Amino acid sequence: MTSVLLLNGPNLNLLGKREPGVYGSITLDEINALLKHEASLLNVKVYCQQSNHEGVLVDAIHATVDTHQGLLINAGAYTHTSIALRDAIAAVKIPTVEVHLSNIYSRETFRHHSYIAPIAIGQISGFGAESYRLGLHALVHYLRR
């Protein structure tokens, strides 16, 4: 069965409390449950992990080798700062879809650049929790081609 790692970066554990005007009121646990349900409809498995620590995220990406066929990632602020995450994804050559709750291009200028986007198969942002669902569908579609 196809396996996808859903990896969430820093501060996403605070969803539902953190800036609801920007990120909405849904919690990370609710997003994880939504994705697991959606995965069951697609006949794939989704494993969810979140960390506020860059090295833990890098280790999780390394661990995808021979374990997962795809990566769905919201790297949070590391999207705009982490060459280490970019290099980890490039090194393991796993098909990756980058997702964001908010439209990063309509926010502060520093959020307009993503180190991950150039090595991802695609990026979805601005649709709240729906970005995750759309990202999962896009990734599964890509893997099945």
- Cα gap 82→111, rounded to integer Å: 12
Decide if 132 is catalytic: no
**Of 85, 76, 78, nearest in space to 23 by CA:** 76
Could you write out the DSSP letters of every residue in 47-67? EEEE-S-HHHHHHHHHTTTTT
Which one is catalytic: 23, 78, 115, 132?
23
**Which phi and psi (to 5°) does residue 40 adopt?**
-65, -35
Which one is catalytic: 78, 100, 115, 132?
100
Mapped onto helix, strand or coil, the DSSP state of residue 84 is: helix
Decide if 23 is catalytic: yes
- Cα gap 69→98, rounded to integer Å: 15
DSSP H helices, the chain, are: 20-23, 28-42, 54-62, 83-92, 130-144
Annotated catalytic sites, by residue? 23, 100
